[in-house]
Amino acid sequence: MKEAQPQPIYLRDYRPPAFLVDHTELEFDLYEEGAQVVSRLKLRRNPDSDNARASLVLDGVELELRSIMIDGVEVDAERYSVEGEHLEVRDVPDEFELETQVWIKPQENTCLEGLYKSSTMFCTQCEAEGFRRITYYIDRPDVMSLFRTTIRADQSLYPVLLSNGNEVEAGVLEDGRHFAVWEDPHRKPCYLFALVAGDLHCQKDVFVTSSGREVELRMYVEHRNANKCDHGLISLKKSMAWDEDVYGREYDLDVFMIVAVDDFNMGAMENKGLNIFNSSCVLAKPETTTDNGYQRIEAIVAHEYFHNWSGNRVTCRDWFQLSLKEGFTVFRDAQFSADMGSDTVKRIEDVTVLRTAQFAEDAGPMSHPVRPASFIEISNFYTLTVYEKGAEVVRMIHTLLGAEKFRQGSDLYFSRFDGQAVTTDDFVACMEEVSGIDLTQFKRWYEQAGTPVIRVTDFYDPDTREYRLTFRQSCPATPQQTEKLPFHIPFAIGLLDASGQDIALPNGATTQVLHLTEPEQSLVFQNIEAQPVPSLLRGFSAPVRLEYNWSLEQLKFLMSHDSDGFNRWDAGQKLAIVVMQNMISDGSRDVPEILIEAYRKVINDTETDQALIAKMLSLPTEQYLIELADEADVQLIHQVREITQEKLGGALREELKACFQRNVQSSEAYAVDALSIAKRTLRNTALQMLLKTGDEEALQWALDQFQAASNMTDQIGALAALVHSPFENDRAQALSSFYDQWQSDNQVVEQWFSLQSGNPKTGHLQAIKALMQHAAFDIRNPNKTRSVIGVFANQNLTCFHAEDGSGYEFLADQVIQLDALNPQIASRLVTPLTRWRKYSEVRQGQMKLALQRIKSGGKLSPDLFEVVSKSLVDA
Ligand code: B3K
Ligand code: ZN
C-alpha cells in the first residue's frame, strides 16, 4: 500500500488548545548511550477551548515511552495510546499532573532538532517543533508555561550544565555525576526551551540596565575558541543599550547567556536567556574573521537579543504568524545595523538580498504570503518572504506612521500583549490605534503573495509647465492566488532639475511619499521649469519591481547627483544592467564609454562615503541578472559579466591602482570601524578588478598582501582576487598554503571551501566531489555542507547549470543522501532545482528529471516532499 502523503494544515483551522500547561518540570539524565527525560506537567482544561471533553493529546517524535502517570498513579494501558506522532490519554480530569518518562538518543540525532550532540556537548534546538523530540508535550506556541529544569550528567565530561532562567541549585552526586537546577520565571512556549551540557570555556561581562540592574553576560564556547568571544559580547552590550534607547526595552533576567555550537541548522536561536548560536555566527577574532563576518555577527547577536521582546515576551499564536516575530525583529536589527554603521550601505545590502533572492522566491513554486495560509512542514517557511519581506512590511508601516507614532505603536503592542501569544493582526491594530491610520488595505501585504510591479510613465508639458507621473500597479499570479487586489504602497519620490538639485515638492520637502492604492494613479506637479529627472522609489520605500524607461544619460546623471544615496547606487546598477542586457541581446562585446566614464567618476570620488563607493564599484551579480531575465542563459550572462568586468578593469587600470594605493593601511592595529572597513573593501575590490585583467603588478600586490596580512579581510581579499584571476599556479599555491595555515580553524576552513566551490575556475564538478572527500568535509555538519554543496549550486552558476545536466544530477544525489540525515538542510539545498521555470527548455527538462528522481526515490521527509511536490505542480 502506498503510504499516506503528508497533508497541509490551514490557518483557517486554528482552534485554541484544549489544555493549558501551568507548570513544566523536567528532569534530564544524560548518558553516553542516551538520555532519560522525566516531565511533570500541571495541566488544566482551557476555558477558551470549544471542546470541554477533549482527550489530552500530546506531541512526541522518536520517544520511547517508559512510564506514564496521572496524579502519581500509573495510567492503565487501555486509557492511553501512542499513534504516529501523538500520545492520547482519554478520560482525564479537568486539572491534573501528568508525569511521563521517556528515553531518547541524542547521539543518534542527525536532524539537529530536539536534543542532540554537537562535538562533545549536548545542546538543543526546539523551534519550531523540536521540543516534541525531547518529551511528550503540547508543542504549539500558544501554550505557555513556567519551566523548572534539572540536569544530571557526568561532571568531568560535562562540567557546565545550562538551561533557561536562573540557576537555583547545583551539587555533586554519586558516580562522578553532578546536577544543576534552573528556573525560568517567565512563562514561555516550549520552542524557547534550551539545554546545554558540555566542557566549555566561559567569558563573562556585565551590563547595567537603564533602571540600574546588573545583568551578568556569559559566553560559553569550546576551549579552543576561548579567544573568539570579545566581539560577541561587545555586540551584545551594544544591542542591549540600543533596545533601551530606541524601543524602551530592558532585559528581564539576571543573566544572559550565549553558547556557540558547531553543528547548527540555522544561524542562531533566541531561547529565553540562553541563546544558542552557530559558531560561524558568533565566534570572531581579526586573524580569522572578515569585516563582513564581524558585521554579520553584530547583526545576528542583535537579532537574537531583540527577540527577547519581539518573540519571547510577546510571542506567536501559531506558526502562520511567524513573521510577527521574525519580520519585526529583522526590521529592528536592520535599524540597529543602520545606526551602528552606514544606513545607506545597510539598505543596499538588504535590498540586494530582497531583489535577488526574495523576489525569486515570490516568483517560484514555494511562493507564499508573509502570513502563509497553509503549510505541510513549518520548517520550510523560515523563508526570505517571512523574514525579509516581512521586515519590509514593518518598514512600510514605519514609513506610513513616522518614527514617533511607530514607537507609540510598538509600546502599546509590548504592553498590551506582554506574556501572550498573538497575531499579525494584533500588531497592526496597535499601529492603527495610535496613529488613526486605516491599515485595512495595507494588510494585503500579509495576505497576498508575489512581488507587485509598478510601471511608471511621465510627461512634461513646457506650455503649462506641468509634470505628470502615472503609476500602474499589478501583481503576478502565484500558486493558489490568481487574482490580486491593489496594494497600499508607500512610494517615495524626488525630482531633480537640470543641475542635479532637488526640486521643492508640494509637501515643502525634497522627498515625498505617495500613497499608491489604485491600479492606476496620476500625480501632477505644477510650476516645473523644465523636464525634471525623477528619482523613483527612494530608499526602496516598498518591496516592488519598478519599471520606468530610463535613458542611459538619466541613469548616469542620477548616479552622480541623486541626494538619495540608495538611488545613486541603484542608478549605477541599472546602468550596468542595461549595458549588459544590451550586450546579451545584440551579441556585441563592447562596453560603452558611458559605463566606463560613470565608473571612472565613482573610483575618483573621495568625498562620498567610501563604503558606498565600494558598493557602487561592484557590478550586479549573475544571480540578479538571472532573476531579471525572462529566460536566463546562464553561460551567456556569465560571459558578458566577465567581459564587462575585465574591460572596466582594463580601461580604469590607473584609477584602480591609485585607489588601491590610497587605501593601503599602515600597520596600525586592525579596527572594525566604518572607515577602516570601507578602506579595506575598496582596496580589495580594486585588487580583484585589476587581477582579473591579468595585471602582473597587481599580482605581486596580491601575493604580498596575502603573505603579510594581519587580518582575514585582507588575507582572504587577496586570496579571492587570486582565485578569480587567470594566474593558475599562484591561485593553487595560495589555496594550499591557506589551508595549511588554517586547517585547525573550522570557521576559516568553511570560508576556504566556499571560495573554491563558488568559482567556476576552482569549483567544477570534479573539484566539488574532491572537496567532499577532503578530510575537513563532513556532510552531517550543515556549515560544511552549505559551504561546499550550497555555494556550488547557488553561486557557481556556470558549473551548476552545466550543459550535460551533471550539476543537477549531482545536487539531486546529495539531496537524497541528506534527506535521510537532516531533512531541513536537504529541503533548503534543493531550492536551486525548483527554479527550473527560469531556464531554457533543455535545462528545464533536466532539472525536472532531477526533481522527479528525488520524488520517486524512497520515503521523503515531509520537508523535502513539500518542496519537491510543489515545484513539480503543472510540470
Ligand atoms: N528563530 C530562529 C529560527 C529557528 C528556525 C527553526 N527551524 C532564529 C531566528 O530567526 O532568530
Ligand atoms: Zn529571528
CATH number at residue 630: 1.25.50.10
Task: Count other Cβ atoms within 10 Å, centred on residue 825.
Answer: 27
Distance from the first to the final alpha carbon of the chain: 26
Residue 667 has pLDDT above 80, yes or no: no
Question: Is 230 in the same domain as 375?
Answer: no
CATH code for the domain in which residue 301 is found: 3.30.2010.30
Tell which of 312, 336, 351 closes a domain: 312
Catalytic residues: 304
Tell me: the pLDDT tens digits for 342-383? 999 999 999 999 999 999 999 999 999 999 999 999 999 999
Residue 391 has pLDDT above 80, yes or no: yes
pLDDT of residue 666: 67
- Please tell me the number of Cα atoms within 13 Å of 761 on its side-chain side: 17
d(CA 281, CA 295): 10
Judged by average pLDDT, the poorest of 150-159, 239-248, 660-669, 775-784 is 660-669
Residue 478 carries which DSSP code? B
pLDDT of residue 173: 98
Give domain status of residue 331, yes or no: yes
Mean pLDDT, residues 661-671: 82
- Point out the ligand nearest to the CA of residue 266: 1
b/e burial code for range 412-447 (CB count within 10 A of at least 16 → b): bbbeebeeebbbbebbbbbbbebbeeebeebbbbbe
pLDDT of residue 1: 41
Tell which of 549, 571, 606 closes a domain: 549
Query: Number of folded domains in the chain?
Result: 5
Question: Is 183 in the same domain as 63?
Answer: yes
Cβ of residue 128 lying under 6 Å from some atom of ligand 1: yes
Q: Where does the pLDDT of residue 425 fall: very low under 50, low under 70, confident under 90, or very high at 90 and above?
A: very high
pLDDT of residue 858: 84
Question: Is 612 in the same domain as 494?
Answer: no
Cβ of residue 361 lying under 6 Å from some atom of ligand 1: no
Question: Is 208 in the same domain as 170?
Answer: no
846 to 277, 802, 833, 851: CA distances (angstroms): 38, 11, 9, 9
Give domain status of residue 287, yes or no: yes
Mean pLDDT, residues 192-216: 98
Q: Where does the pLDDT of residue 446 fall: very low under 50, low under 70, confident under 90, or very high at 90 and above?
A: very high
Strands 315-316 and 421-422: parallel
Angle between helices 230-247 and 322-340 (to 10 degrees): 100
pTM of the predicted model as reported, rounded to 2 decimal places? 0.99
Question: Is 502 in the same domain as 626?
Answer: no
Tell me: the pLDDT tens digits for 623-635? 999 999 999 999 9
Strands 144-154 and 200-208: unpaired
Tell me: the pLDDT tens digits for 185-201? 999 999 999 999 999 99
Question: Is 151 in the same domain as 251?
Answer: no
Distance (angstroms) between ligand 1 centre and the Cα of 314 equals 16
Give domain status of residue 797, yes or no: no
Question: Is 389 in the same domain as 457?
Answer: no
d(CA 418, CA 69): 34
Residue 165 has pLDDT above 80, yes or no: yes
Q: Where does the pLDDT of residue 875 fall: very low under 50, low under 70, confident under 90, or very high at 90 and above?
A: confident
d(CA 105, CA 116): 8
Question: Is 121 in the same domain as 29?
Answer: yes
Question: Is 218 in the same domain as 79?
Answer: no
Give domain status of residue 102, yes or no: yes
Mean pLDDT, residues 309-336: 99
Mean pLDDT, the chain, integer: 97
- Phi/psi of residue 209, nearest 5 degrees: -75, 170
Question: Is 308 in the same domain as 321?
Answer: no
Residue type (1 letter), 528: I
d(CA 201, CA 210): 29
Closest C-alpha to ligand 1, atom 5: 127
Tell which of 520, 549, 578 closes a domain: 549
d(CA 97, CA 199): 35
Distance (angstroms) between ligand 2 centre and the Cα of 253 equals 20
CATH code for the domain in which residue 55 is found: 2.60.40.1730
Residue type (1 letter), 368: H
Cβ of residue 326 lying under 6 Å from some atom of ligand 1: yes
Give domain status of residue 768, yes or no: no
Q: Which residue has the cell 585607489?
A: 659
d(CA 556, CA 571): 7
Question: Is 192 in the same domain as 258?
Answer: no
Closest C-alpha to ligand 1, atom 8: 269
Give domain status of residue 762, yes or no: no
Give domain status of residue 583, yes or no: yes
C-alpha cell at position 224: 579552543
Closest C-alpha to ligand 1, atom 7: 379
Residue 668 has pLDDT above 80, yes or no: no
Distance (angstroms) between ligand 1 centre and the Cα of 406 equals 25
For residue 797, the cross-strand partners are none
CATH code for the domain in which residue 400 is found: 1.10.390.10
Residue 19 has pLDDT above 60, yes or no: yes
Mean pLDDT, residues 151-180: 98
C-alpha cell at position 491: 512610494
Q: Over pLDDT 90: what percentage of the chain?
A: 98
Closest C-alpha to ligand 1, atom 9: 269
Contact 102, 114 (CB under 8 A): no
Question: Is 39 in the same domain as 76?
Answer: yes
pLDDT of residue 3: 62
Contact 517, 562 (CB under 8 A): no
| Domain carrying residue 650 | 550-732
Give domain status of residue 7, yes or no: no
Residue 590 has pLDDT above 80, yes or no: yes
CATH code for the domain in which residue 538 is found: 2.60.40.1840
- Point out the ligand nearest to the CA of residue 127: 1
- Point out the ligand nearest to the CA of residue 823: 1
Residue 617 carries which DSSP code? T
Whether residue 509 is preceded by a cis peptide bond, meaning omega within 30 degrees of 0, is no
Cβ of residue 569 lying under 6 Å from some atom of ligand 1: no
pLDDT of residue 450: 98
Closest C-alpha to ligand 1, atom 6: 127
Ligand 1 atom closest to the CA of 125, numbered from 1: 6
Judged by average pLDDT, the poorest of 445-459, 576-590, 651-665, 667-681 is 667-681
